[in-house]
Structure 1
Amino acid sequence: MASDSDSVHSDSNEEKRLKKPQKKPYAQKYMSSWEKDPLMEKWLARSKINERHFYCEVCNADYTTVGGRSNLLKHRKSSKHVQRATTLRKQPVINNQSFKRERQVSHQIKYSEIRIAAFMVEHNIALNTADHLTKLIKAISPDSEVAKGISCSRTKCTKIVQNVTGYSQFEQIVQCLQTTKFSLLVDESTDVSATKHLALVVRFFNNGRINDVFLALIPTPIVTGQALYDHVIAFFKKHNIPYISNMIGSASDGASNMFGTHHSLSVLLKKDIPHLFLMKCICHSFALCANYACEKLPRVIEDIARDVFNYIQHSYKRLSVLKQFQEFLGLKPHKLLHPSQTRWLSLLQVVKRLLEQYDALILFFTDAVYEDKVLAADMILSRLKEKYVKIYLQFLEYVLPYFTNLNLEMQSEETKIHQLYSRVSTVYKTLLNCFLKSDYVRNTAVEKILFDNPHNFVVIEEVYLGAKVTASISNGSHGLSLEQLSDFRLRCLQFYIEACKQLVKRFNFQDPNLQVFKELGFLDPTQMRSHNSIAPLASKFPNLVHENALNDLDSEWRELKNLEINVPLAPSIDYWETVSKLKLGDGSVKFHHLSDFVRNLHCLPHSSAAVERIFSQIQLNKTKVRNRLEAETLSGILHTKTLIGNDQ
């Protein structure tokens, strides 16, 4: 019994001992004096958790201060702390001068490699040249740390163009298009490798000026209107560009896949954006007008230009002989030009050069006939000696500048859409005055003139054919028979009629839709007071001006007409930018609605010449030797060119 009682007693003592609360270990508060301890000063810091923790900068972690200083020293000897401290000792100190120097050199190397790539793009140098250029730089700068570190081979150079300079410019453009109104200029062409590309150029307002900027180059094996539309829309959706709300205009040439009546790119875009402004390139249109009109003249004129060029230009011996005759006659040793079908302004330059070198050509081909006995030279000489050939060339020298000068003006990147109606009507009336009665042209509205009615013609002898032709006929030096002279006048009259017919076909003054061009004349500060209200024009652009803002817009316009602003009148965008900076007394913009409306109108396209310039750049880079350049690399090159142009 005694043993049992002793056992119960011992069990109760054990329970009491177990139930007795344990004493919590004392957690030493963090002491700032520890940071001065030589053993801990390089890694110890105060914890942000609380006062009973410390922070180890080596381990990048917080630990408890239980145990006080002894616990900190114990942590210092732990395997984790020792391993990380050893690793950090091998790394350079951030404020070390040698480390700063290494970073500086590294930055200069990267900068130099980008500059090399940009230089090659700017000067249309093959990217393969980068292999040799890098070695050359190292060879001529053996003591330069930067030159030693450059490793910009053709692969790296290509990637810099694609993913650094090109992509940087592309991102900037996309960001602008996501928030800015823009117009789209489109064209497609086949390059030297028989690859067909669709080029996209955007026209938008940025940094106080209008920009025509290359956007994308898309390979398009199929160029139907639907295929082009699918490519354009897919591109916009891929890059999150809200084209339905932000695209206000589109321009291209008059090809059926671009501007056809039924299922072209313009028709499909118009379905998505009902108020989209569409513009056939006026430069293409005027070039076609001149080409169709020239068909009314004898074909021999164009044949002579081609035959003379083909006979002389590709032979060094013949060029040398021609140069001797040029020097004998005191003429400048200019080369002959080729009449190209794809270059809008080539015909006038060919005509001028032929007239300039006409006497030298007569001597050259006379020598070729009698000395070399060449049959082709005999045929060309006989044509050059025909009196009507020179007088036809003189007529073309007079009349073609009406087309080429307007063409040149409309190729400008400045806003010209507000001048389009007045410039086309001026050229149209000038041509009409050459063969219609002056009173009829002066007293009849331009849209009502009947240019093909013989009742309105002047007599055939009074048809104006240019100063040189008139003087030649007046003094009798033309050498034509009466029959030849009558035929010459009749053909020139047919030229005028056909030119006017083609012009009206492409710019029909009777079309109510063309009134928008007339109303856009208010953008010219010199013409603004002739417009009483811009509400009719604004109503045609509901995507630019909300109906509720029409009153505010027109009120601002009427107030501006009575405000004198001393600003240079050309270009007009400078005037309107000055207007946009005028403030009210409370600091708000005085002409807010008007400024936004005008900026967007300046983005409307008047031609697609900017896209043609893109294809010219492609031809400079993708040649017979460099015929494997892909669209991605070409896009990078074109974007880099834009970036370089912006920085200059």
Structure 2
Amino acid sequence: MSVQHKCVIIQRGSEFDTDIDKTDPQVTNPWKWIWMEHVVNGQKLGDSIRKIQKPGHAMCIICSKELKYGKRGRFSLVQHVQNPSHLSIVNMRKSNTVLPGQKQPESSTDTTYGIHPMLKKAAENPKSSIPEPRVSLIDRVSTAEATVLAFAAEKSLPYAVVPDLVSLSKSLAKDKQALDGISMDRTSASYKMTYGLGKTFQEECVEDLQTSFFSLNIDECTSETNLRVVSVLVCYYSDKDQKVVIKHLSSFAVTKVDSKTLYQELVRLFEELRLPWKNLVSILMDSCNVMRGSKGGLETLIRKKKHARCGW
């Protein structure tokens, strides 16, 4: 019969559990918690059956029905779980979708029901055999959008980064197995960026510069740690990409920003990466005397160096 009132579900180990010993002995087959471990058609009875505060009665939370077990005991519960009406409701939950904006039904199954309180903590949230209604796509999309926006707000990211963050998430989600295996802290991220990703990109760029004419963009700035850092960008036509590209070539810290120091560091960079001076066609820099001084500026020193090497 259908439940017409709200039944009190008894949890194992609760104060009402002790009353079962007093009330259920009046029935032919008293309640036994071991019944909840019995498996029928791949389902534990504890996934759908609950003991209520009524002698000889239990409740199916899937069908919302009271069940009498006082005479036949566990077999009455097994018979209900095998009933076509119960199975049809279980199968229907597989295809049901919760309406947008609605929470999951309160009949969500507890996979630890009937387990002794001392063993509940050891249970690692086993998956229930009773399917739950699917959350609507609208709600799932809204939840994902809220998560992205909350992350951007927490990390003080500009709104312009959000579209790229969404694209990155979609790209990573294509390989869930690899995504589950990602583990990267601050130290490993710095190491892999410097000696892994950064080194690989630089080697590819240097390989292109061996056969392509290129221009340099040199600028100096102060880092968050008050270090004077010089960044060198390179612009060239990429045969691979079939377009003009701008890439980061290198960055280095200097203690003094003058034309001689910058010139020495730039020459060291060319020699270290074995860049051909003959392929250098122009340099973009600030208009200050350090960069463009007619006698001792960085541009003048580089012109002399290139003229000495290849007669430019």
Higher helix share: 1
Specify which structure has the bigger relative contact order, considering alpha-carbon pairs within 8 angstroms and separated by 6 or more residues: 1
Q: TM-score, normalised by structure 2?
A: 0.40
Higher strand share: 2
Question: Which has the larger Rg?
Answer: 1
